[in-house]
């Protein structure tokens, strides 16, 4: 899994039992080199010769994915692995235009590893009229649903998404707004750091009410699910435009504090408005490590027990990667991977393309 934070590759070796229950065997995190991160970020905007540049970046990604796979395979023979589920790196996500694009040369990854690869999980759902995202809710339902407790799972990566798991067994899920994306971008600009460790910088500032209000007016937040978001909706250019329109001097540290509050607020508003009787919220994704963010989520949802998926036995860092291992297994079993109640697709679909070993 390489997600919208553009931080690197989360790789897991997983065994998935006959009922679909996952068991995490090994994990490996491979950060992107700074140069690749910068190239991928640049490819999110139009530029000259971008088809060539994207194809070259896809090859680089395949080589890094292969390196991550090799690191997992120290103690297991490659031929005992059925498949690699490879999400790829999202460069564009435009369901309204009928497409989404995740790059990462799956053919090259199959060639380099000698293992079958399942890739391009989102396109079929979009072809069927869906958002193509989020896809993890089906896995959350499989692995984390409780028959008597109304749970919500929040994945806080670059973008934040939630999965609502009421006790009647229905599942809803959508992207609530920014996760770490704006926080990462703002601290990068001001100190060069890739992220605000534990939210310490944000915690040392004060929320600016005018900026918070302006951010809360983002049209994405007013849309009803099904909905999904990406860097198209939440990015530094948009933040700069909001700041210029306010025309006030706001200290960078207070902007960071306000971005953290905006991230927590957009997520918690979605939980309060759409997940009525929810009792428990389990957070996963890198945002689970941001203690200042976790504190604000706790404070904004006083009626829920807020913790991380570690309390359910799944380390929050690996839920998403496990989900794509599970989705790859669904594909190999000719079983659907999408939930039409989440993505809005016309029906269940078998997702992904298979590149045989
Ligand atoms: N100790 C920490 N303190 C604050 N933030 C953290 C910490 N550790 C990780 N993060 C944040 O988590 C991000 C990575 O999260 P994650 O791996 O879930 O993202 P992702 O794979 O891009 O997810 P998605 O696909 O859901 O967007 C980092 O960019 C950083 O912002
Ligand atoms: C297009 C795309 O890559 N979307 C990601 C992104 O990151 C979080 C959120 O936005 C979610 O919609 C999705 O990823 C997760 C893994 C998903 O599909 O469930």
Q: Is 175 in the pocket of ligand 2 (CB under 6 A)?
A: yes
Beta strands in 8-122, from DSSP E residues, in sequence order:
8-16, 22-31, 84-85, 89-94, 99-103, 117-119
Please give the backbone phi and psi of residue 236, each rounded to the nearest 5 degrees, phi first.
-65, -35
Report field, pTM of the whole predicted structure over 0.95: yes
HEC string of 127-140 equals: HCCCCCCCCHHHHH
Q: Is 184 in the pocket of ligand 1 (CB under 6 A)?
A: yes
List, as residue ranges, the binding site for ATP: 3-10
Domain 135-312 top-level CATH class: alpha beta
Q: Is 136 in the pocket of ligand 2 (CB under 6 A)?
A: yes
Burial class (CB in 10 A: 0-12, 13-18, 19+), 187: buried
Cα–Cα distance, 261 to 300 (Å, whole number) = 10
Structure tokens at 100: 């989404």
The contacts of residue 262 (CB under 8 Å, 6+ apart) are: 177, 178, 182, 212, 215, 216
* Nearest ligand, measured from the Cα of 292: 1
Q: Is 93 in the pocket of ligand 2 (CB under 6 A)?
A: yes
Which amino acid residue places its CA nearest to atom 11 of ligand 2?
134
**Bridge partners (DSSP) listed for residue 89:** 103
Predicted-complex ipTM score: 0.98
Q: Is 338 in the pocket of ligand 1 (CB under 6 A)?
A: no
* Nearest ligand, measured from the Cα of 6: 1
How many whole angstroms from its chain centre is CA 240?
A: 24
The CATH number corresponding to 8-132+317-355 among 3.30.420.40, 3.30.230.10, 3.40.50.450, 3.80.10.10 equals 3.30.420.40
* Nearest ligand, measured from the Cα of 193: 1
Task: Please give the distance, rounded to the nearest whole angstrom, from the Cα atom of residue 249 to the centre of ligand 2.
Answer: 34
The contacts of residue 304 (CB under 8 Å, 6+ apart) are: 152, 271, 278, 279, 280, 281
Which amino acid residue places its CA nearest to atom 17 of ligand 2?
134
Per-residue pLDDT tens listing for the chain (357 residues): 999 999 999 999 999 999 999 999 999 999 999 999 999 999 999 999 999 999 999 999 999 999 999 999 987 888 899 999 999 999 999 999 999 999 999 999 999 999 999 999 999 999 999 999 999 999 999 999 999 999 999 999 999 999 999 999 999 999 999 999 999 999 999 999 999 999 999 999 999 999 999 999 999 999 999 999 999 999 999 999 999 999 999 999 999 999 999 999 999 999 999 999 999 999 999 999 999 999 999 999 999 999 999 999 999 999 999 999 999 999 999 999 999 999 999 999 999 999 999
Question: Would you kindly state where each structural domain of the chain is located, as residue ranges?
Answer: 8-132+317-355, 135-312
Cα–Cα distance, 116 to 107 (Å, whole number) = 9
| Fold matches, 8-132+317-355 and 135-312 | yes
Q: Which atom of ligand 1 approaches the CA of 293 most closely?
A: 4
Q: Is 85 in the pocket of ligand 1 (CB under 6 A)?
A: no
């Amino acid at each position: 899994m390489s997600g919208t934070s553009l931080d690197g590759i989360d790789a897991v070796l997983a065994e998935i039992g006959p009922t679909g229950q996952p068991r995490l065997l090994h994990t490996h995190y491979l950060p992107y080199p700074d140069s690749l991160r910068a190239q991928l970020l640049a490819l999110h905007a139009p530029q000259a010769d971008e088809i060539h540049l994207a194809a070259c970046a896809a090859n680089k990604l395949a080589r890094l994915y292969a390196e991550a796979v090799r690191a997992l395979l120290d103690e297991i023979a490659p031929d005992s692995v059925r498949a690699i589920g490879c999400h790829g790196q999202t460069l564009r996500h435009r369901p309204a235009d009928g497409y989404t694009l995740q790059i990462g040369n799956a053919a090259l990854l199959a060639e380099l590893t000698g293992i079958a690869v399942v890739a391009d999980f989102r396109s079929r759902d979009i072809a069927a009229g869906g958002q193509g995202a989020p896809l993890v809710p089906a896995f959350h339902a499989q692995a984390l649903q409780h028959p008597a407790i109304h749970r919500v799972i929040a994945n806080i990566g670059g973008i934040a998404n939630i999965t609502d798991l009421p006790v009647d067994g229905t599942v809803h899920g959508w992207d609530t707004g920014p996760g770490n994306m704006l926080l990462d971008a703002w601290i990068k600009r001001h100190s060069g750091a890739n992220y605000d460790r534990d939210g310490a910088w944000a915690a040392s500032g004060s929320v600016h009410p005018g900026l918070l209000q302006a951010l809360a007016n983002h049209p994405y937040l007013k849309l009803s699910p099904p909905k999904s978001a990406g860097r198209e909706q939440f990015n530094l250019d948009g933040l700069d435009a909001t700041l210029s329109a306010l025309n006030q001097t706001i200290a960078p540290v207070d902007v960071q504090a306000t971005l953290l509050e905006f991230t927590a607020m957009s997520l918690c508003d979605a939980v309060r408005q759409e997940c009525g009787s929810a009792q428990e919220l389990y957070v996963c994704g890198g945002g689970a490590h941001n203690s200042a963010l976790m504190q604000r989520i706790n404070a904004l949802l006083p009626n829920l027990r807020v913790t991380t998926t570690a309390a359910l036995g799944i380390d929050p860092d690996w839920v998403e990667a496990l989900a794509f291992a599970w989705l790859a297994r669904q594909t190999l079993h000719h079983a659907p991977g999408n939930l039409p109640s989440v993505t809005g697709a016309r029906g269940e679909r078998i997702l992904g393309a298979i590149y045989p070993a």
